[in-house]
Amino acid sequence: MSEAPIRIALVGMGKIARDQHLPAIAGNPQLVLAATMSPHSPGVDGVAAFKSMEALLAAGDTFDAVALCSPPQVRYGLAAAALAAGKHVFLEKPPGATLSEVAVLKEKAEAAGVTLFASWHSRYAAGVEPARAWLADKRIDRAHIIWREDVRVWHPGQAWIWEAGGLGVFDPGINALSIVTRILPRRIMLEAATLSFPANREAPIAADLKLRDTDGAPVTFDLDWRQTGPQSWDIAVETNAGTLTLSQGGAVLEVDGHIHRDEDREYAGLYQQFEALIRAGVSDADVTPLELVSDVFLTGRRHTVETFED
């Protein structure tokens, strides 16, 4: 006998929710969109819409889980309320504004006996798991990551992203970190960082990072939100057996002259994992990429650059 679909309430109805979450939920027969919550959006036709988490939770036993797409600065309170009500919680990346609040959410989920899922959508790009498998037994000599995109294209008018806790260029940069921490066989640690802050913003627009893995192999990141024209989401890992490259954000893998390319199923993969975690009664709340971002803000040198207006 098949299990009943898991009823999802989608919280936060911005661009990422509409572009990625709604299609992924609709495409999974094990899930159903039961409600939306946003103080500003009218929601989705034919689906119950609420203006606050309080109103959503007061609706009773109409959903099983929430997917939180709200800005990270307000995500903790929403997640904590849902967990207290016995709901499973899917956290968009980054899983929180701070490491300490995610640690508390893990404790709350365990105490409530529900699933907490810290999602990293770039880890579900088509080339990531094949890259991880190929690198598993290789000596890593060095890795270089170029992650440059145009914030005006991908985050138009999203003021929260420039505020304290909004991460700035690390909103996309943490995607690169999530891939690298998944595919490299050893942990990486920060050595130095330079952060470029626009004079009128509280979050960086660019960053240069120098890290090493636990065997001493250098890993460097070039992150920039001012890229125009073609966008760059590229990872190159030099090994004793040749160079592996991931391009297009992890969608295309090239190694030994062979190219692996597949369709974009990042968010479909995320929701398959969320459903599997709920069925198994376990959580997955890895914060390794956020730990590295925290290290960058803790130790990086700050450099002021020209003002930025989007």
The angle that helices 128-135 and 170-183 make with each other, rounded to 10 degrees, is 40
What is the CATH number assigned to the segment(s) 6-118?
3.40.50.720
Domain range annotation of the chain = 6-118, 122-262+294-305
Contact 42, 48 (CB under 8 A): no
Q: How far apart are the first and last CA of the chain?
A: 53
C-alpha–C-alpha distance, residues 124 and 130, integer Å: 11
Evaluate whether 183 touches 237 at the Cβ level (below 8 Å): yes
Helix (H, G, I), strand (E, B) or coil at 104: helix
pLDDT at residue 2 in the model? 64
Could you tell me which of 167, 208, 226, 170 has the C-alpha nearest to residue 301? 208
pTM: 0.94
Closest CA to 9 of 45, 39, 47, 41: 47
> What is the structure's pLDDT at 260?
82
* Number of Cβ within a 10 Å radius of residue 257: 6
Q: Which CATH class is domain 122-262+294-305?
A: alpha beta
- Name residues whose C-beta falls within 8 Å of residue 41's C-beta, 6 or more positions apart in sequence: 13, 14, 49
What does the alpha-carbon distance between residue 263 and residue 252 come to, in Å, rounded to a whole number? 10
Extract the tokens encoding 187: 């942990």
Q: Which residues are catalytic?
A: 93
Residues lower than pLDDT 50 in the chain: 1
Strand order in the sheet with 242-247: 258-261, 252-255, 242-247, 232-239, 140-148, 218-224, 206-213, 188-198, 301-305
Q: Give residues with Cβ within 8 angstroms of 18, minimum separation 6.
A: none
Which pLDDT score, from 0 to 100, does residue 173 have? 96
Task: Count CB neighbours of 141 within 10 A.
Answer: 13
Q: Residue 305 has what pLDDT?
A: 97
Rg (CA), the chain: 20
Q: What is the pLDDT of residue 1?
A: 43
CA distances for 306 relative to 156, 198, 204, angstroms: 19, 5, 12
C-alpha neighbours within 13 Å on the C-beta side of residue 202: 8
| Cα angle value 218/182/11 (rounded, 5°) | 125
Reported as a single tens digit per residue, the pLDDT across 249-283 is 999 999 988 888 877 789 999 999 999 999 999 99
User: What is the structure's pLDDT at 60?
Assistant: 82
